A and B are shown apart, each in its own frame.
Chain A
Amino acid sequence: MNPLLSAEGLTKTYGARIGCRDVSFDLFPGEVLAIVGESGSGKTTLLRCLSGHVAASAGRVIYTTRDGKRAALDEMSEAERRLLMRTDWGFVHQDAREGLRMGVSAGANVGERMMAVGVRHYGKIRAAAADWLSRVEIPEDRIDDSPWSYSGGMRQRLQIARNLVTSPRLVFMDEPTGGLDVSVQARLLDLIRGLVKGLGLAAVVVTHDLAVARLLSSRMMVMQQGRVIEEGLTDQILEDPQAAYSQLLVSSVLQV
């Protein structure tokens, strides 16, 4: 089986400053990989390179498209890349306002992504939007409301619905539960976990929260100063971290 996504020597520098350096890995269909590390470790830069939001300074990202072809992201045309991002990929931002169109209704936010892949039948779009809102536990009578009227947790769930309506195979998530109340986080995490498992999605999740990594991922990479300093099974890194920095991260979590 081909990996769904491969990073080969991915490096991003901003002048003299290093975003991420020489990152390589394979992600297979259905795998959830967590990238952990403290602020400034390069994990968000890496995610932006992987998802084609910024161009890498060196190295490349290779993706296996639905027809089985392996294609380098930087060799695709702009149109091909955009299509990929609208169909096969999802991107869940930490701040839902970045991932939503705040000026249109919740239903339109979900419907819009369907229209972008060519669905034109209003009844179908409306039904799919309603279905997805219920799957992310948003009451049906809120479908015509603006996301401005939604709570933080609801906005995040709406963003997830918007991403998943086109049945992507790969979802990138940047601190998906960051900035939410703990009780809201738990519900959202459980929802994401259920959807990812149920749909067999592959995902790359950036988080500084090891509990999020534990709950969502099966594999983990620890980043420090732009480099991957340790990688392995999530439970192995959390229970038997090898690198000094990984040990520091794990031992810094407060026991409740």
Chain B
Amino acid sequence: MEPVLRIDALAKHFLLHQQAGVRIPVFDGLSAQVNAGEAVAVTGASGRGKSSLLKLIYGTYRATSGAIRVRNGEEWVDVVAAPPRDVLALRKSTIGYVTQFLRVIPRVPAETIVAEPLIDRGMDPEAAICRARLLLDRLNIPERLWHLSPMTFSGGEQQRVNIARGFAAHFPLLLLDEPTASLDAANRQRVLDLIAEARQQGSAIVAVFHDEEERRLACSREIPLDRGEGSGP
């Protein structure tokens, strides 16, 4: 299969100016490749930078050095070097990201939050909402909640809204940060099914799973963060 993501000699250090200039290394010299249709788990002990790696790929964290190349159609875009405009375009068309927690916007209903990535791509809002409802239904969010802002939803419901949003549009590269963390067994299975379907449609997936069993079910390979990083080259 064709590569979708190529990480080369990636280093990330945090420099905390407000805390006596302390320098916190996260990793150094990290290289990895992820192909279309493949699901790869980022593994490592707590604090080794699993979520940080997803944020670096999405451009939310700024890399210290190295390159993160994402295929966008026929081109490769280096998230580390690309101007904001190109990263935003990449997020619209190519990189989907299911964060650990849903960022709720007051007054925006659940179905609109889910439909937004489709509307942003120019889909007719009515069709986008229709697709959003199908996903919310599939993820067991009761219909009476679709028109409400998820502000008052439970943690598990918010997370499912977040997952529905991540899977609403087809993304060639999907970043998933503990997508099943606060879900019951039935909903967990639905998320694993969605992941499997996305892979069949050719999405490359980079995921952080807390649970080893789920990781094994969802992913075929690992990017381990426990060896060699943090200590420098």
B-binding residues in A (CB < 8 A): 28, 31, 186-187, 189-190, 193, 215, 218-219, 231-233, 235-236, 239-240, 242-244, 247-248, 251
Task: Flag if B59 contacts A236 (CB, 8 Å).
Answer: yes
Check A247/B16 contact, CB under 8 A, given A186-B106, A233-B84: yes
* B105: chain A residues within 8 A (beta carbon): 190, 193, 215
The yes or no answer to B138 lying at the interface (CB within 8 A) is no
Bound CA–CA A126/B59 (angstroms): 47
Where chain A touches its partner, the secondary structure class is helix
Task: Specify which chain A residues have a CB less than 8 angstroms from the CB of B16 in the assembled complex.
Answer: 247
The 6 closest A-B pairs by CB, nearest first: A244-B17, A240-B61, A190-B107, A186-B106, A233-B84, A235-B60
Question: Which B residues lie within 8 Å of A219 (CB)?
Answer: 84-85, 88
Interface of B is mostly: loop
Question: Is there contact, CB below 8 Å, between B106 and A240?
Answer: no
Q: How far is the CA of A235 from the CA of B54 in the complex (A)?
A: 14
**Residue of B whose beta carbon sits closest to that of A185:** B106
Instruction: Name the residue on A nearest B58 (C-beta).
Output: A235
Number of interface residues of B (CB under 8 A): 18
Shortest CB distance A145–B (Å): 25
Cα-based distance from A193 to B108 in the complex (angstroms): 10
Q: Which of B15, B84, B107, B108 has most A Cβ within 10 Å?
A: B84
Is the CB–CB distance between A190 and B84 below 8 Å?
Answer: no
CB <8 Å contact, B18 and A244 = yes
B55 part of interface (Cβ distance < 8 Å): yes
- Given A190-B106, A244-B17, A247-B17, A236-B85 contact (CB < 8 Å): no
Residues of A within 8 A of B170 (CB): none
Tell yes or no: B62 within 8 A of A by CB: yes
In the bound complex, residues from chain B placing their C-beta under 8 Å from that of A190 are 105-108
Interface positions, chain B 45-86, Cβ under 8 Å from A, are 55, 59-62, 84-85
A215 and B106 alpha carbons, distance in the complex (Å): 10
CB distance from A159 to the nearest CB of B (A): 20
Establish whether residues A186 and B85, one from each chain, have CB atoms under 8 Å apart when the complex forms.
no
Which residues of B pack against A, CB within 8 Å? Answer: 14-18, 55, 59-62, 84-85, 87-88, 105-108
Give the chain A neighbours of B84 by CB distance below 8 A: 218-219, 231-233
Q: Are A233 and B55 in contact (CB under 8 A)?
A: no
CB neighbours (8 Å) of A235 from chain B are 59-60
Can you identify 24 A-B contacts, CB atoms within 8 angstroms? A28-B85, A186-B106, A186-B107, A187-B107, A189-B106, A190-B106, A190-B107, A215-B105, A219-B84, A232-B84, A233-B59, A233-B60, A233-B87, A235-B59, A235-B60, A236-B59, A236-B60, A236-B61, A239-B60, A242-B15, A244-B17, A247-B16, A247-B17, A248-B18
A239 surroundings in chain B (CB, below 8 A): 55, 60-61
Q: Which residues of A contact B17 (CB under 8 A)?
A: 243-244, 247-248
Does A236 contact B18, Cβ atoms closer than 8 Å?
no
Partner of B62, one of A31, A236, A251: A236
Q: Is the CB of B107 within 8 A of A247?
A: no
Cβ of B178 to closest chain A Cβ, rounded Å:
17
Q: State A239–B59 Cα separation when bound (angstroms).
A: 10
| Residues in B whose Cβ lies below 8 Å from that of A193 | 105
- B50 CB to closest chain A CB (Å) equals 16
A240 to B60, CA, bound (A): 7
